[in-house]
Structure formats: structure tokens, C-alpha cells
Amino acid sequence: MKCLKEKCIHHDVCALYTFSGYASDECGFYETKPHVENEKPQWIPVTYRQMDNDEYCKFREEYGEIPVEERKVFDCQMPEDGQEILISTKYEHIFLDTCVYDYGYGLEEYGDWEDVIAWMPLPAPYIKEGDQK
């Protein structure tokens, strides 16, 4: 599994991140689409998948054993480090937060991604028609 930088929107922090925030050294995001200017932001569901055996072996060598139920990696498009986003939680709350990356994904205010079910990039600022950027 190699990061396809021309297709991978998070290539600056390209890695697989587990539910518990640890990283391995390969990218699993193959079909993420690049950001399109003026595209209306939409909710992006946060999904996970179980690590395969090779991924877990690499993880275990670096970080040690973890319980089977924690052997998860994000299986969705993730925001970039420092990107301000909206998050929606399983408790039906929406928060404005900033995605942070430090040995795995986190949120500046909310902490971890455990209860987050979806995220959305912020829309571009409003520009009055006829005004220049």
C-alpha cells in the first residue's frame, strides 16, 4: 500500500491511524477526491476498518500489543493537520473544532475522534457577487 500523492488529499501526514491514535507508515486512502474550489461542503462519515495482519504486525513492532477491538484504522477521507472543521457526534451535537496531528489524529477541543460520526470542511467565506477576492 503506497500513498498516491496525486490522489491522496492528506499526503503531508500520510499514514494509517488507529482508533487509539497510533500510526503506521502507509496510506490506505486510495480513492479520495481532491478538494474542488466552490464545491458545497458535505458531511464525510467517519468509518473504520480492522487492521489486516500485515498492518498489525508493523504496528505491534513499533507500539506493542493492543486488544483486538482497538485494532482499527480510519477508512475514510480525513482532514488535514490544522484544518478547521465541523464535527458531528453520536450524541447529535455539532462542534467547530480543529483537526490536529501528532502521532495520530486528534481534535484540538474535543480530544479524540471516538464519538465523532462525521466531519465537514468549513465553507469558503461569503464573497458578495461582483467583489474581488
Domain boundaries, the chain: 11-121
Residue 113 and residue 106 in contact, taking contact as beta carbons nearer than 8 Å: yes
Q: What is the rounded CA–CA span in Å between residue 19 and residue 40?
A: 28
Strand order in the sheet with 44-45: 44-45, 116-121, 84-89, 94-101, 105-107
Q: What is the rounded CA–CA span in Å between residue 87 and residue 82?
A: 14
CB-based burial of residue 120 (10 Å sphere; 0-12 exposed, 13-18 middle, 19+ buried)?
A: middle
Q: Which three cell numbers stand for residue 121?
A: 470542511
In which band, very low, low, confident or very high, does the pLDDT at 133 lie, cut at 50, 70 and 90? low
% residues pLDDT > 90 (the chain): 53
pLDDT tens column, 89-105: 999 999 999 999 987 89
pTM of the model: 0.66
pLDDT of residue 122: 95
Q: What number is the average pLDDT over the span 110-114?
A: 94
Q: What is the rounded CA–CA span in Å between residue 57 and residue 66?
A: 11
Q: Which three cell numbers stand for residue 23?
A: 500510526
Q: What is the rounded CA–CA span in Å between residue 97 and residue 41?
A: 16
Q: What number is the average pLDDT over the span 18-37?
A: 43
Higher-pLDDT residue of 29, 65: 65
Q: Which three cell numbers stand for residue 75?
A: 477508512
pLDDT of residue 77: 96
